[in-house]
Amino acid sequence: MIVLSGGTGTPKLLRGLKNVIPEEDITVIVNTAEDRWVSGNLVCPDIDTVLYTFAGIIDERKWWGIKNDTFHAHETLKKLGYHESMKLGDQDRTTHIVRAELIRNDHTLTEATERLRSSLGVKARVLPMTNDPVATMVDTPNSKMHFQDFWIAHKGEPDVLDVKFDDMDTAEPTPEVIEALSSENTIVIGPSNPITSIGPILGLEGVIPILQKKHVIAISPIIGNKPVSGPAGKLMRAKGYEVSSAGVAQCYEDFLDVLVVDRRDNCVLPNIEIVKTNTMMSSVERSMELARFIVGLVRSPKDN
Ligand code: GDP
Ligand code: FO1
């Protein structure tokens, strides 16, 4: 199964999916537009959350970082008067060190991710959307800032005028991403932020034309008029979308076939098949139930 992912909602689905189908049958295409160099090393929050989820070490309270990690290096740096823009755990930091070393030695992000995947014993394929740097930038009344500054330093509080992706014009999807998208009949878009997590993947040249030929199933990250967590509401509004499952469908209108919404949601849409189930993944069991439901919607090779 091919799944498009950000770093919270879709990983919750993956934690169920890996218990429902063989992990090696899962390929995840992951957003990299929130990546950032911190203290000389490369942090890829969405890739790491996906890797840690498959490895069973994700901190499920925050959905970033490694559970029971310590923050000694981060705190010691603070004592030395050095403030890191992201709070990096000690174990988590080793991931960023290895990745950055590989990249400094001319490996691609795809190769670095493959090395980390193998070291963590992850059997699923985890593919960064691109090997090129892309940065999500948030336009606020006072300044244009990197998404991580908006979310961490400014706590997601400033009004948002627009969201843009720096260097998207020159970034290319990797050959592995194109090959994976082309290889199956159904593509699943997990319940991720349609603007900042799925938006960058869709922004890469050539991705939407492939999706237009496929059976595309998306799971809505919005229940009623609110996201389950995170800034999706504010960011969707800034891009002119209604904060609802209908707004999510609109984000994907060029290619979407099926939208999975929560059973409490009363979304009705022409031209798109709406299916309802419990999409609130408050436990592993709930994640598995939703994963089983999604597997049931997947079309095997051209049974359309
Ligand atoms: P990010 O990279 O951390 O922004 O993570 P994602 O984009 O992958 O996920 C963020 C989205 O996940 C938010 O818009 C949430 O509403 C959604 N989300 C989180 N938990 C759940 C859940 O249990 N069910 C559903 N349907 N959506 C969820
Ligand atoms: N989110 C925070 O709110 N504060 C942090 O200090 C923080 C550090 C951090 C370190 C590594 C990592 O992979 C993620 C981290 N996040 C932190 C989460 C991150 O800012 C966002 O939630 C994601 O980029 C959204 O996908």
- Going along the chain, which residue ranges are E strands? 2-5, 27-30, 36-38, 41-43, 125-128, 135-139, 144-146, 162-166, 186-189, 215-219, 222-223, 226-227, 258-262, 273-277
Q: Whose CA is nearest to atom 12 of ligand 2?
A: 45
Query: Is the pLDDT score of 300 beyond 80?
Result: no
| CA 191 remoteness from chain centre | 9
Binning pLDDT at 50, 70 and 90, where does residue 132 land?
very high
pLDDT score for 301: 58
Which whole number is the average pLDDT over 45-56? 98
Which whole number is the average pLDDT over 263-282? 94
Please check whether residue 23 lies inside any domain of the structure: yes
CA nearest to 31, candidates 220, 231, 202, 201: 201
- 5 CA to centre of ligand 1 in angstroms: 10
Please check whether residue 48 lies inside any domain of the structure: no
pLDDT score for 229: 96
CATH number of the domain encompassing residue 183: 3.40.50.10680
For residue 286, what is the enclosing H or E element? helix 284-297
pLDDT score for 304: 47
Please check whether residue 110 lies inside any domain of the structure: no
CA nearest to 95, candidates 127, 79, 117: 117
pLDDT score for 270: 86
pLDDT score for 189: 98
pLDDT 10s digits, 173-186: 999 999 999 999 99
Evaluate: CB of 200 within 6 angstroms of ligand 2: no
Which whole number is the average pLDDT over 72-82? 98
Which whole number is the average pLDDT over 246-262? 97
The domain in which residue 234 lies consists of 1-35+123-299
Structure tokens at 167: 């260097």
Tell me which amino acid residue 136 is: T
Mean pLDDT is lowest, of 112-116, 265-269, 298-302, for 298-302
Q: Whose CA is nearest to atom 2 of ligand 1?
A: 7
Q: How far apart are CA 181 and CA 194, in angstroms?
A: 18
Contact, 223 vs 276, CB < 8 A? no
Q: Which residues' Cβ are closer than 6 Å to ligand 1?
A: 6-10, 12, 46, 191-193, 197, 219, 221, 227-230, 232, 279-281
Please check whether residue 102 lies inside any domain of the structure: no
pLDDT score for 302: 47
Which whole number is the average pLDDT over 9-38? 98
Which whole number is the average pLDDT over 73-98? 97
pTM as predicted: 0.97
Q: Whose CA is nearest to atom 12 of ligand 1?
A: 9
Contact, 77 vs 87, CB < 8 A? no
Binning pLDDT at 50, 70 and 90, where does residue 49 land?
very high
Please check whether residue 101 lies inside any domain of the structure: no
Q: How far apart are CA 138 and CA 187, in angstroms?
A: 28
Evaluate: CB of 152 within 6 angstroms of ligand 2: yes
Please check whether residue 112 lies inside any domain of the structure: no
Query: Is the pLDDT score of 208 beyond 90?
Result: yes
Q: Which of 51, 83, 151, 196 to mutate to test the pocket of ligand 2 (most atoms within 8 A of CB)?
A: 151
- 68 CA to centre of ligand 1 in angstroms: 22
- 162 CA to centre of ligand 1 in angstroms: 20
Q: Whose CA is nearest to atom 1 of ligand 2?
A: 152
Which residues, at least 6 apart from 32, have a Cβ–Cβ distance to it below 8 Å? 44, 46, 47, 109, 128, 129, 130, 134, 200
- 198 CA to centre of ligand 2 in angstroms: 17
Q: How far apart are CA 109 and CA 118, in angstroms?
A: 14
Q: Is 175 exposed, middle or buried (0-12, 13-18, 19+ CB in 10 A)?
A: exposed
Please check whether residue 78 lies inside any domain of the structure: no
| CA 155 remoteness from chain centre | 19
Total domains in the chain come to 1
Q: How far apart are CA 13 and CA 17, in angstroms?
A: 6
Q: How far apart are CA 188 and CA 21, in angstroms?
A: 14
Q: Whose CA is nearest to atom 20 of ligand 2?
A: 148
Please check whether residue 169 lies inside any domain of the structure: yes
pLDDT score for 271: 86
> Coil, strand or helix: which one is 61?
coil
- 230 CA to centre of ligand 1 in angstroms: 7
Compute the mean pLDDT over every residue in the chain, rounded to the nearest whole number.
Answer: 96
Ligand closest to CA 71: 2
